[in-house]
A and B are shown apart, each in its own frame.
Chain A
Amino acid sequence: GQQVMQIPQYQHVQEGEDFTTYCNSSTTLSNIQWYKQRPGEHPVFLIQLVKSGEVKKQKRLTFQFGEAKKNSSLHITATQTTDVGTYFCAGLGTASKLTFGTGTRLQVTL
């Protein structure tokens, strides 16, 4: 079945540093979504990417969808303590439900 992996599993940065998480799917995706889960809370939808090579920005967050539609990345510029949480990519393949990635836990310290 479809598998979605993310690296790194965990990253600890100082506030103000940049952060990137990478997402790779075993199969071609029709679209990819990103979610953020704060500790002890449920995942919250951030964004959806549909087109090959698509780039979207949300303030300090930049999302990219690979040309082959099998990978994606999330980059955060100048991290803040409010960015703490686990970031999941989730891919939609041939089935009609999302397959979530393994997640990258981000810790930000002052």
Chain B
Amino acid sequence: DTGVSQNPRHKITKRGQNVTFRCDPISEHNRLYWYRQTLGQGPEFLTYFQNEAQLEKSRLLSDRFSAERPKGSFSTLEIQRTEQGDSAMYLCASSLEGQGMSGYTFGSGTRLTVV
């Protein structure tokens, strides 16, 4: 297992287009998280899954954002009708939650630029 994998690494899209990102977590990890990070800021929580169940979604996430983790393995994050304000680094992380909290392992992220 080589860690958390995200693709694509970069995505440039025109405003109004839909985009989809993929995250493959560490296989033994049952939790998967999506965060967004803009320049000079800390990662901002978007949503997370425990196995295939989406347990929480940020209030900041508009209806244009949707995430899935259909079989409890990889996850996708879709943004519909992209806006320039969606430009950011989208980070995926996974962790193993069982008897206590553990550190997150982040992927390298997908950098989205909306033009």
Contacts and interface: CB of A to CB of B under 8 A. Distances in A.
A33 B44 contact: no
Measured as residues with beta carbon below 8 angstroms from the partner, the interface class of chain B is 20 to 34
Measured as residues with beta carbon below 8 angstroms from the partner, the interface class of chain A is 20 to 34
Interface of B: 33, 35, 40-45, 48, 55-56, 59, 91, 97, 100-109
B42 A48 contact: no
A97 B106 contact: no
Nearest to B100: A50
Contacts of B97: 96
Contacts, number: 55
Contacts of B56: 95-97
A66 interface: no
Across chains A and B, which 10 residue pairs bring their CB atoms closest together, nearest first? A45-B103, A100-B42, A42-B106, A100-B43, A103-B42, A43-B106, A97-B48, A88-B42, A42-B108, A97-B45
Interface string A28-61: 0011010100000111110110100000000000
A100 B103 CA distance: 13
A102 interface: yes
A101 to B, nearest CB: 6
B10 to A, nearest CB: 12
A33 B103 contact: yes
A41 B37 CA distance: 12
A74 interface: no
5 contacts: A33-B101, A35-B104, A96-B55, A96-B97, A98-B45
A102 B41 contact: yes
Nearest to B105: A45
Nearest to A30: B101
